[in-house]
Amino acid sequence: MTLIRTFTEGDEITGYYLLKKAEIKQTNAAPPKNYFDFVLADSSGEIPAKLWDVSAADKETYFPMMLVKVQGLVQMYREKPQMKINRIRKATEEDGCKLTDFIKSAPIQPIDLVHIIKQTAAGIQDSECRSVVEFCISKVEERLMHYPAAKAMHHAYYAGLAYHICRMLELGEFVARQRPFLNPDLIKAGIILHDIAKPEEMNAELGIVTDYSLKGKLLGHISLAANWVIEAAIALGIDVSSENIVILQHLVLSHHNLGEWGSPVQPQIPEAIALHYIDSLDAKLQAVEDALDSLPDSEEWTQPLRIIENKPIFRMRK
């Protein structure tokens, strides 16, 4: 099968792909005609696709998160590749395709990622902090095995959230060694807790976010996680006004740094400052890495990346 990242203008493609998005739209013609606005995906990337002649049966056949066999032509539209689909059908059991073969996932096995997170939590020396962190992990442990870290910005794939946390823990360990005045327990706790409520914020299947949940839309993962710290304190018999609990809440509430980025308060302890920049560094570098990995072999520039102020990235030839 031809991987999406290798598509070039003029390619005639026949193959199996994941239907990541399927939306009925209308042309500007008079009278308007219905067409399908698709996004096809595989483990290497994704591409927008159009099916122009849509029948009533088609509308009842094609939905997101199914495998399809397509025949189409790769074209350029506004300097971006897209596919014009000439034929399409649902994949069947006889085709021998598995959904998991077509999704992007973390490069480390989810079970190993979750083990690292739990092992790190168990190594937190302060018993109150450790208990709160373990309580919060227990609320999402099963979903950590497959949830993405975001809908699109960074680590937006199967087990992306656990991968993001683990890569941050690596950075946090280095920073704590380099800056001994930092409290390693708080660095570890902040990293594990900062996005721990993402599975409550988003609805996702196979690492692909379909929508934000009601709690996600009305509260967001930052508020949810801060509330979980209080919930943990009550369940564990810890004074909710104690310094440990207030500090853990502050780490969560301030990790986006600015109000316009979602944080109700700015970092005001050293570990919160470190947490913000560790989070930002990992998120931005991963977004760049993913964009370069999915860049077609024939191209030198990625699409503009929102996470780095809508700048494209140039790939140097080795």
* pLDDT tens by residue, 2-18: 888 888 889 999 999 99
CATH class of 110-291: mainly alpha
Closest CA to 144 of 102, 221, 200: 200
pTM: 0.86
* pLDDT tens by residue, 32-80: 888 999 999 998 888 999 999 888 899 999 998 899 999 999 998 887 8
Q: Is 49 left (phi over 0), alpha (psi -120 to 50) or beta?
A: beta
Closest CA to 208 of 158, 137, 259: 158
At 255, which helix (H) or strand (E)? Answer: none
Q: Which of 7-11, 127-131, 202-206, 298-302 has the highest mean pLDDT?
A: 127-131
pLDDT above 70 covers a percentage of the chain that reads 99
Question: Tokens 């996470």 sit at which residue?
Answer: 307
Return the structure tokens found at 190: 């902040």
- As a whole number of angstroms, the distance between CA 132 and CA 234 comes to 10
170-173 own/partner pairs: CB under 8 Å, 24+ apart: 171/278, 171/281, 171/282, 172/274, 172/275, 172/278
**pLDDT band with cut points at 50, 70 and 90 for residue 216:** very high
For the chain, the average pLDDT equals 92
Q: What does the pLDDT average to over 256-273? A: 89
At 56, which helix (H) or strand (E)? Answer: helix 56-59
| Domain ranges within the chain, ordered by starting residue | 4-102, 110-291
Establish whether domains 4-102 and 110-291 are of one fold. no
Q: Does domain 4-102 have CATH number 3.40.50.720?
A: no
- As to burial, measured by CB atoms within 10 angstroms (0-12 exposed, 13-18 middle, 19+ buried), residue 303 is middle
